[in-house]
Amino acid sequence: MHSILPLPVQPVKPGTSTGQHFWHSTERTLDSYSPVDGQLIARVYLSTRADYDKVVDTAQEAFHQWRLLPAPKRGDIIRQMGDQFRQYKRELGTLVSYEMGKSLQEGLGEVQEMIDICDFALGLSRQLYGLTMHSERPGHRMYEQWHPLGVVGVISAFNFPVAVWSWNAMIAWVCGNVCVWKPSEKTPLTALACQQIISEVLRNNDVPEGVSCLVTGARDVGEWLSRDPRVALVSATGSTRMGRAVAANVAERLGRSLLELGGNNAIIVTEHADLDLAIPAIVFGAVGTAGQRCTTTRRLIVQENIYEDVKNRLAKAYAQIRIGNPLEESIHVGPLIDKQAVAGYKAAVDEIRRMGGTFVVEPGVLSGDAYTSGCYVKPCVVEGDNAWDIVQRETFAPILYVMKYSTLDEAIAIQNGVPQGLSSAIFTLNLREAEHFLSVAGSDCGIANVNIGTSGAEIGGAFGGEKETGGGRESGSDAWRAYMRRQTNTINYGTQLPLAQGITFDL
């Protein structure tokens, strides 16, 4: 076990998190290795089917009490969780960086997102508004109200091991739901740390056992959640392959799913771009989190008149990138999550070479004392063709494809010409170009930015994407509605019983 973590926690077992019941009926464990140095950092008990069933039963019971607590009271409990995350930001951010491999700055940023969503949920607790409508019948009043769904299952990916859970859990809780979280099998320790950090708040507020639950395991546990009719909503973040399976399993039982899947994000750089803004945004978007963000910039579509200039500037900027231990503040790029991801990177590079791609910045796997885990790769840039299969797919690694265009409509067609639809951006100082890109004839993505990159979304907006990205929306704006059921109410306060549409029914 590594000792960098002054967290006030003992790693705990799966189950509910107020500290009373941590069930585990097997000694089988899940091992977590850090991609930073290859060390074994935790052994976590795996949930069996029996553990899982107990957890969901307990969650269901807890729902009956939790939903009765007024929303602003639930919001206040979430505020206290936010205070805990403020207190342990450094420790949790460090653990995220160490277990997942993202830079410390990004690890701390992820915890900051958790704090931000707690604040957002607190405000939301007094704003779960429904509409009122004018009834067509005299002496009648119509309105709608929103009720919680019940048990919300949260399946999360390794690359945002804590923030994605908090986007879901804080909003689900404030709406009156209870949560069962299945974190990625690649990052179980950060999940346990989160549960432990909030457990004091849950206990201090006498929150019913089962409001916040954790189950550990891989795909099989995710499938239990997807197929379980006790789970009203499954919010799943991960690959498109996983999303297809979850969508089918949840639809089979007519449950609800919220899907946040893979991206294949592009930046368009027009000849009216301010390249001093564009270049750092492109580099951060392409190499941040070692290219393992759903919003990573994977394609760069550049106007032909500035193409050579952009390529040269990119090559210069990439030469400045420092790759190494992500816990060191001066490092820009840490490792990929594991050796399987390195194999995926190498396979992509081989395919690019077979297609005849020309590298502007060469790829490579790093070796030597600083890279003992074997998970460090060089971010690379290659001149690519949007039609290549490899460009159409999401390779979860820092590979940036550069392409040329002549007219903006051509650039937009390239940008939209992939199966995914998460994030997109344009760099231009020309108002017409910017507005065209944002118009109905422009980007087909869930996120479309002007003069900022594709990654690094704020929690205040609804986050998610179209097409194979799954269509889900999480986090800010009115994304909370996905976690509630709408009920339309009509009240007759008159002395007559008029029917809608003027229908008469005389007895």
Interface residues toward ligand NAD, by CB under 6 A:
155-160, 164, 182, 184-185, 218-219, 222-223, 226, 237-239, 242, 245-246, 260-263, 294, 394, 396, 422, 465, 469
The smaller minimum CB distance to ligand NAD, of residues 30 and 331, is found at 30
Q: Which residue has the tokens 């410390």?
A: 104
**Which residues lie across from 463 on neighbouring strands?**
474
Gyration radius of the chain's alpha carbons:
24
Render 385-423 in DSSP notation, one character per residue.
Answer: -TTSHHHHS--SSSEEEEEEESSHHHHHHHHH-SSEESE
CA–CA distance, 43 with 146 (Å, rounded to integer): 41
Closest distance between ligand NAD and the C-beta of residue 181, in Å?
A: 10
Task: Name the minimum Å distance from CB 446 to ligand NAD.
Answer: 9
Using DSSP bridges, classify how beta strands 474-475 and 462-463 pair: parallel, antiparallel or unpaired: antiparallel
Asked if 8 and 208 touch (Cβ cutoff 8 Å), the reply is no
For ligand NAD, which is the closer residue by CB, 235 or 428?
A: 235
State the nearest-atom distance from the C-beta of 396 to ligand NAD, in Å.
5
Instruction: Choose the catalytic residue: 260, 433, 468, 474.
Output: 260
| Least Å from the CB of residue 249 to ligand NAD | 7
- For residues 262 and 357, which CB has a smaller minimum distance to ligand NAD in the complex? 262
User: 40 or 218: whose CB is closer to ligand NAD?
Assistant: 218
Alpha carbon distance 107, 91 (integer Å): 10
Residue 159 vs 166, nearer CB to ligand NAD: 159
Q: Smallest gap, in angstroms, from Cβ of residue 277 to ligand NAD? A: 25
Q: Are 447 and 465 in contact (CB under 8 A)?
A: yes
345-349 LR contacts (CB < 8 Å, sep 24+): 345/377, 345/395, 345/397, 345/399, 348/390, 348/395, 348/397, 348/399, 349/380, 349/399
Judged by phi (left if over 0) then psi (alpha if -120 to 50, else beta), residue 301 lies in beta
| Closest approach of ligand NAD to the CB of residue 344, in Å | 10
Residues 374, 339 contacting (CB under 8 angstroms): yes
| CA distance linking residue 202 with residue 459, whole number of Å | 24
CA–CA distance, 187 with 165 (Å, rounded to integer) = 12
| Nearest residue to the partner ligand NAD, using Cβ | 222
Q: What's the min distance (Å) between Cβ of 341 and ligand NAD?
A: 8
Q: Whose Cβ is closer to ligand NAD: residue 18's or residue 235's?
A: 235
Judged by beta carbon, residue 174 or residue 261, the one nearer ligand NAD is 261
Please tell me the distance from the alpha carbon of residue 280 to that of residue 276, in angstroms, as a whole number. 7
Least distance in Å: CB of 271 to ligand NAD?
31
Q: Tell me if residue 91 is catalytic.
A: no
Is residue 31 within 8 Å of 39, Cβ to Cβ? no
- Residue 494, number of CB atoms within 10 A of its CB: 11
Nearer to ligand NAD, 67 or 346 (CB): 346
Q: Which strands, in side-by-side order, build the sheet including 132-133?
A: 132-133, 140-148, 484-492
What H or E segment, with its residue span, contains residue 143? Answer: strand 140-148
Catalytic residue positions, numbered: 260
